[in-house]
Structure 1
Amino acid sequence: MAGGDDDRPTIMVTNDDGIEAPGLQALVRVLVSTNRYRVWVSAPHSEKSAVSHSITWSHDLTAKRTQITGATAFSVSGTPADCTSLGISKALFPSEPDLVDF
């Protein structure tokens, strides 16, 4: 399991519809409400369905802390692949998640 004082497993959520997508918000609410997991979110600023598997290499990525109740969340300027890569690289979070849900 991911390290730290919290022994709950960590789930990182991402998507291709953007950080404010209703589906992502609903999934995070349900996961948080169980109190069984630490919930991390790393999702694109906006909808990126047509480019979900691409990576950004021609310009810098930015990540901005975003408020999602009960979760640690970042809105990322790149694609879903960029969001996943940042999330598991320890660039945004203190350790690797136990599970990534897309």
Structure 2
Amino acid sequence: MQQTQTEFENKVKAIFKKVLDIKESEIVPGAKLDESLDIDSTEMVEISVGIKKELGIALKDNELKKTHSFNEIIGILRSKTQASGGHSCGCGHAH
């Protein structure tokens, strides 16, 4: 079953909220990760682990380092789920 965009974004926001201990209202689409949300490299790793655990999508270190906003992370995650046939285990195969 395909998740709606809103459900998907809400799951990612929940990961951000948990790792960063912030309110959902602080996570806006264009929020700059390093400036607006003040995310450091350790927190980026924790977010990556949370995404893998909750959504089953593996992110490479360089993919996260290249992202500058919440929307960019959503875009990368969306492209990974679409490339894997709509499922999100990150293996690249359709199940």
Using the size of structure 1 for normalisation, the TM-score is 0.30
Larger strand fraction of residues: 1
Using the size of structure 2 for normalisation, the TM-score is 0.32
Higher relative contact order (CA 8 A, sep 6+): 1
Larger helix fraction of residues: 2
